[in-house]
Amino acid sequence: MESGTPMQPFDWKAFAALDKEGQNSAVAAAYSEMAEMDEEARRSALRSAIETVYGLPDAELRSMTEARLRAWLVLPPEKAALVGNSFESAMDDMPARIAMRRVTVVQSVAFALSADELAQLQKLVPRVLGDAPLAVPSMSKGTSPKRPWWKFGQKT
């Protein structure tokens, strides 16, 4: 973002156009600001954000979803929990098409996070991964035990 061009505080489409670092910073700043709002204003802002972000193409939706989760990891825990749980409440009011996209996107983005980050997120916002079970180390990249291909039918 150029220094002479002010960005609207919650211009989610503009945030999506930023590089990864810019997205993470912009989204964290927006959620930090939302934490200072009253609950009704926060949910209204979150509903607008959800509608905009979930209307983006898949690649931008994934990067913005990761930026959202990373923002909650860097915010002070009380702010992250406040905004995250308000986000979940706002998401409950969304149409099925958004809910369906959310399930697949959040689960795919979760693989970009470490097991510790997933556990921290679930502690702050218990429904962050939808109805998925609590995070386990095998959810993060490279930590699941490898079985020979021929044992695909055996339980571990």
CB 56 within 8 A of CB 13: yes
103 band by pLDDT with thresholds 50, 70 and 90: confident
pLDDT of res. 145 = 56
Q: Which of 91, 75, 59 is nearest to 25 (CA)?
A: 75
Written as six digits, the tokens of 60 are 């931008």
Residue 154 clears pLDDT 90, i.e. is over it = no
- Give the mean pLDDT of 80-102: 93
Q: Which of 114, 4, 136 is nearest to 69 (CA)?
A: 114
147 band by pLDDT with thresholds 50, 70 and 90: low
Annotate 25-82 with three-state secondary structure: HHHHHHHHHHHCCCHHHHHHHHHHHHHHHCCCCHHHHHHHHHHHHHHHHHCCHHHHHH
129 band by pLDDT with thresholds 50, 70 and 90: confident
- 41-57 confidence digits (pLDDT tens): 999 999 999 999 999 99
Separation CA 120–CA 2 (nearest Å): 34
Give me the chain's average pLDDT, please.
85
